[in-house]
Amino acid sequence: MTALPDFRLETYFSRWEFTARYHLTASDAQSMRMTELLELADGADREAWEALTLGYTETYGDPGLRQAVAETCVLAEAEDVLCFAGAEEALYLAMRVLLSPGDHAVVVTPNYQAAETVPLAICEVTGVALDPARGWALDLDEVRAALRPNTRVVSVNFPNNPTGALIPAADLAALAELCDERGIRLFSDEVYRGLEADPAGTLPQATDLSPNALSLNVTSKALGLPGLRVGWIVCRDRELLSRLERAKHYTSICNSAPGELLARIAVKASDRLLARNRALLNANRPVFDAFFAAHPGLFEWQGPAGGCVAFPRYLGPDGVERFCTELVEQAGVLLLPASVFRSELTPVPADRFRIGLGRRDPEPALAALTDWLAAR
């Protein structure tokens, strides 16, 4: 495996995430205090919290958490769930287990950088770009054309980061069927599932479409609890899950006991958490719509079909990189420029930036942005 490049998003965040006054590019829904989460616990989980000892936990994950995750699926059982220290560990280890030199993978772009850089460090990878001219649509014929006899993985992310795009459920089902026909693993990053603008557009979990597919999720994004650092993969191929569990022995080994118990409470209360976060997004969308409508010559706006982020276009003559740099340096408003999401696989529009809609009270940040634009 070749050396991995710098993680551009995390490098950018390490400079600005906790120093900028306004974090307007956050990818997660509004978080909550631990006391608020504990109020959602049932009696048994509250007692478990009070009696918790800080020893090692099971490598596969807390049995109650695995059961709670399985209950969000149609076909999966607790034995089909493997927990990780966040989604990044799960993605990294999955690619290491699924791919070898000489293999080939297909990855949708734009994406969360690790989705392409980890497989690229192992084998050949072909990108299939979402089409911004068609609302970031995915062309299944392009996916089909990208497949090779040695393709082992097709990696997708819907709702998509950074674009907020969704695909029709029929397309995801067709993709799962195509992968099964070719003996390919469908790896589906579903961390924003449950935050669709239209709940009718909520996609099935890939694991419910194929026994060979892998569904990735985490407490960080749609549930708004990134501080727990707990993610999971659901896959009904238990031999593959066992290989993933053995790979985890070389990384985190097991998650923290408090994190997994709090994650168990969160997943069991996921209907309430998702309803809370959907309501927040629904309240925020008109605020962002109004901001962009007030600057029609400067931005091209399309709100997210799902998730907490969007990827609007910047039309200013100075370019999006300078725009984002001067904005955070002069006004303390943090956005992520297109260079953070550039791809080695396909062109990604260089005039875009990621903006987050999932945090409470975005008005002060948008007001600071408005004042800065007026003073330029």
Give the CATH number of the domain where residue 77 resides: 3.40.640.10
- If asked whether residues 261 and 278 sit together in one domain, one would say no
d(CA 238, CA 226): 27
pLDDT tens-place string over residues 83-112: 999 999 999 999 999 999 999 999 999 999
Choose the final residue of a domain: 269, 300, 318. Answer: 269
Identify the pLDDT of residue 2: 83
Mean pLDDT of the chain: 98
User: Mean pLDDT, to the nearest integer, of 219-234?
Assistant: 98
Name residues whose C-beta falls within 8 Å of residue 19's C-beta, 6 or more positions apart in sequence: none
- If asked whether residues 12 and 46 sit together in one domain, one would say no
Instruction: State how far Cα 44 lies from the chain centre.
Output: 31
- If asked whether residues 162 and 109 sit together in one domain, one would say yes
- Does position 332 have pLDDT exceeding 80, yes or no? yes
- If asked whether residues 84 and 160 sit together in one domain, one would say yes
- Which residue type does 104 have? H
Burial (CB count <10 Å: 0-12, 13-18, 19+), residue 34: middle
3-class SS of residue 189:
strand
Identify the pLDDT of residue 237: 98
pLDDT tens-place string over residues 120-134: 999 999 999 999 999
Choose the final residue of a domain: 269, 289, 309. Answer: 269
Q: What is the DSSP string of 76-142?
A: --GGGEEEESHHHHHHHHHHHHH--TT-EEEEEES--THHHHHHHTTSEEEEEE-BGGGTSB--HHH
Cβ atoms of 86 and 220 closer than 8 Å: yes
d(CA 92, CA 184): 18
- If asked whether residues 183 and 123 sit together in one domain, one would say yes
Pairing of strands 104-109, 124-129: parallel
Assigned domain for 158 exists:
yes
pLDDT tens-place string over residues 41-55: 999 999 999 999 999
Assigned domain for 2 exists:
no
- If asked whether residues 125 and 256 sit together in one domain, one would say yes
Assigned domain for 3 exists:
no
- If asked whether residues 29 and 39 sit together in one domain, one would say no
- If asked whether residues 224 and 368 sit together in one domain, one would say no
- Does position 59 have pLDDT exceeding 80, yes or no? yes
Cβ atoms of 109 and 128 closer than 8 Å: yes
Choose the final residue of a domain: 235, 269, 303. Answer: 269
pLDDT tens-place string over residues 247-293: 999 999 999 999 999 999 999 999 999 999 999 999 999 999 999 99
- If asked whether residues 112 and 129 sit together in one domain, one would say yes
Strands (E), the chain: 22-23, 81-84, 104-109, 124-129, 151-157, 185-189, 214-218, 231-234, 299-300, 309-310, 313-314, 333-334, 336-337, 353-356
- If asked whether residues 299 and 348 sit together in one domain, one would say yes
Cβ atoms of 50 and 331 closer than 8 Å: no
Domain of 339, in residue numbers: 8-33+272-375
If one counts the domains in the chain, the total is 2
What's the half-sphere exposure (Cβ side, CA atoms, 13 Å) at 360?
6
Pairing of strands 309-310, 353-356: antiparallel
Identify the pLDDT of residue 52: 98
d(CA 37, CA 112): 28
User: Mean pLDDT, to the nearest integer, of 219-246?
Assistant: 98
